[in-house]
Amino acid sequence: MTVRQLRERTAESEKITINLGYVDLGRIDLLVQEGFYSNRTDFIRTAIRNQLAGHSAEVSRSIDRHTLELGLREYTAANLQAVRDAGERLHIKVVGLVRFADDVSPELARQTVASLTVLGALQASPEVKAILAERTT
């Protein structure tokens, strides 16, 4: 008799371990016993999903765009306003030249650029450069 594996199974979740106090554990067990949840794991997964749903706006706002580019990258006020309006921040990584157009205000640069790495040259107004200096790695 030949046994063949049809397909390799991949993990669909990650196992974690948590420590709970006895009172909290007892309350969870009571809810399970009363039929609100099928087991402790069901309760914990539901609680985590509810917390994540409650913080979804914060999670969305904290998503940063990371880019690595080679050559010339130019940012205009319109580009940066779109980033700000989307609730995002930029982590700029360029090998070459980064240019901030003259219409980019220091405040707009402060609001939209989380970090800046330039291996090459940076062109911007002295005021924008001053703001970006604290974010340059």
- Convert 35-63 to b/e letters by CB count within 10 Å (16 or more is b): eebeeeeebeeeeeeeeeeeeeeeeeeee
Ranges of each domain in the chain: 22-59, 63-133
Please say whether the beta carbons of 110 and 86 come within 8 A: no
Residue identified by tokens 């930029």 is: 90
| Whole-number average pLDDT of the chain | 88
The whole-model pTM stands at 0.55
What is the rounded average pLDDT of the residues 45-65? 80
Looking at residue 43, what is its pLDDT? 97
Q: Which residues contact 106 (CB under 8 A, 6 or more apart)?
A: 125, 127, 128, 130, 131
At 20 the pLDDT is 94
Out of 37-46, 55-64, 112-121, which region has the weakest mean confidence (pLDDT)? 55-64
| pLDDT tier, 55 (very low <50, low <70, confident <90, very high otherwise) | confident
Instruction: Name the more confident of 64 and 50.
Output: 50
pLDDT of residue 137: 82
On the CB side of 54, CA atoms within 13 Å amount to 6
